[in-house]
Amino acid sequence: MDDFRCSAPALAKWLLERARQNQASGASRCFVACDERRRVVGYYALSAGSMAHEAAPGRIRRNMPDPIPVIVLGRLAVHADRAGQGIGQGLLKDAVLRSLQACGQVGARALLCHAIDEPAKAFYLKHGFIASPIHPLTLMLPFKGAF
């Protein structure tokens, strides 16, 4: 993991400095994709969370309590050498499938993420996420109809 680099240094730093600690404490679960030499080529983290009603788009907040239960996609990053090869899309699909399975047990309305920048926001929008009406880099994918 020590040689993991990506377009956002904060995401690489989190993997190196926080992922194991968060896993051990139960704060989040980190999932990694490795190449044939067992080098990390990408990762994401999931945790439980909630979102205030006013921050959610109408179709997500409709008939939901306040706050709205969500699963948080806390991080998603691909190694710089593997960018543009579909790894991010594969990781996102895996995150959605794991989240759908989890929400069958505990209940959640959407997968929520905080895009680190505008290119990340564009990636999530391309994959069906909806932007928050008050936080432009906060996006949600409603579980109903996901993938």
pLDDT digits (tens, 9 = 90+) for 43-86: 999 999 999 999 998 889 889 999 999 999 999 999 989 999 99
pLDDT digits (tens, 9 = 90+) for 88-123: 999 999 999 999 999 889 989 999 999 999 999 999
The secondary structure of the chain as a DSSP string is: -TT---S-HHHHHHHHHTHHHHHHHTS-EEEEEE-TT--EEEEEEEEEEEE-GGGS-HHHHTT--SSEEEEEEEEEEE-GGGTTSSHHHHHHHHHHHHHHHHHHHH--SEEEEE-SSHHHHHHHHHTT-EE-SS-TTEEEEESTT--
The residues annotated as belonging to the active site are 124
User: What domains are defined for the chain?
Assistant: 9-142 (3.40.630.30)
Q: What is the maximum span of the chain, computed from C-alpha positions, in angstroms? A: 48
pLDDT value, residue 145? 54
pLDDT digits (tens, 9 = 90+) for 5-37: 888 889 989 999 999 999 999 999 999 999 999
pLDDT value, residue 19? 93
pLDDT digits (tens, 9 = 90+) for 126-147: 999 999 999 999 999 999 755 4
pLDDT value, residue 60? 92
pLDDT value, residue 144? 78
pLDDT value, residue 29? 97
pTM of the complete model = 0.90
